[in-house]
């Protein structure tokens, strides 16, 4: 857990699930966390609790589909703490359904959050990291970004895109000493299945998660592993599943 203390970590989707538990986990290890999410009351409560325990946390209301709001999130972190060491592009949706259901609104939301949100995060953080000649950009993909299942066409497409974007970024930012990583979780216990709008699909995924999902701190440990590496080590991809998950 070296190299975490004192780092400024900006986290999108920080009001619950991966974002919340990672903020708490990193704060306990000395990181300064800046929390972005749409649900203001939730991130303010999380930040208040972290600060109460002796950590440092800042909450900034952020919709990742709005490029100006993500820019404000990152700029606020730099203005308050003088730098940004890590951006965790964590906000995401999983509104899976067969294509024949024509859930076009779900498709658009998934693309806006899972792809554009990542790109907007990169656009906000990259100028600061280039100036610093340091930083890490960690983006969240999924096991679905490595394999495709029926009903998951759009979701998998967005998560494949995250991997493509991160790898291209990795190659482009070498002159600036910036590192990139992708984390691809399997079934982990968060409220991500709650973004499924088709009842029968949602029921099936809920049952699958109940039987297979592992706690969300597994994700937080993966993030900490990536961040804790010395500056000459660039962990580019972590894929993990519950031991009993077959897919």
The packing angle between helices 17-28 and 40-52, to 10°, is 20
Reduced to 3 states, what is the DSSP secondary structure of residue 69? helix
- E strand or H helix that includes residue 50: helix 40-52
- Exposure string of 78-115, with b = 16+ CB inside 10 Å and e = fewer, is beebebbbbbbbbbbbbbbbeeeeebeebbebbbbbbb
Q: What are phi and psi of 96, to 5 degrees?
A: -75, 145
Told to judge if 155 belongs to the known catalytic residues of this protein, a careful annotator would answer yes
According to DSSP, the β-strands at 56-61 and 86-89 are unpaired
Q: Are 137 and 180 in contact (CB under 8 A)?
A: yes
Q: Where are the alpha helices (DSSP H) in 104-178?
A: 104-111, 117-132, 153-172
Reduced to 3 states, what is the DSSP secondary structure of residue 158? helix
Task: Quote the CA–CA distance of 136 and 122 in Å, as a whole number.
Answer: 10
Given 25, 120, 155, 160, which residue is catalytic?
A: 155
Look at residues 126, 124, 106 and name the one whose alpha carbon lies nearest to residue 114.
106
The packing angle between helices 104-111 and 153-172, to 10°, is 20
Active site members: 155
């Amino acid at each position: 857990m070296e190299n975490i203390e004192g780092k400024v970590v900006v986290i999108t989707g920080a009001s619950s699930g991966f974002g919340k538990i990672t903020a708490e986990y990193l704060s306990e290890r000395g990181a300064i966390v800046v929390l972005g999410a749409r649900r203001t009351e939730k991130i303010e409560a999380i930040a208040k609790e972290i600060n109460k325990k002796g950590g440092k946390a800042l909450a900034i209301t952020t919709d990742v589909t709005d490029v100006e709001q993500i820019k404000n999130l990152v700029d606020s972190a730099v203005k308050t703490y003088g730098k940004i060491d890590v951006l965790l592009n964590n906000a995401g949706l999983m509104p899976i359904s067969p294509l024949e259901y024509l859930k076009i609104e779900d498709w658009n939301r998934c693309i806006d959050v899972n792809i554009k949100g990542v790109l907007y995060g990169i656009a906000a953080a990259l100028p600061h990291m280039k100036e610093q000649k340091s930083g890490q950009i960690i983006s969240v993909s999924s096991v679905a970004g490595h394999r495709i299942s029926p009903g998951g066409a759009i979701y998998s497409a967005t998560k494949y895109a995250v991997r493509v974007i991160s790898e291209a970024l990795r190659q482009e930012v070498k002159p600036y000493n910036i590192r990139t990583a992708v984390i691809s979780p399997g079934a982990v216990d968060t409220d991500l299945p709650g973004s499924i709008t088709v009842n029968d699909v949602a029921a099936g995924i809920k049952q699958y998660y109940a039987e297979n999902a592992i706690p969300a701190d597994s994700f937080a440990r993966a993030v900490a592993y990536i961040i804790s590496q010395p500056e000459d080590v660039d962990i580019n991809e972590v894929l993990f599943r519950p031991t009993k998950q077959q897919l």
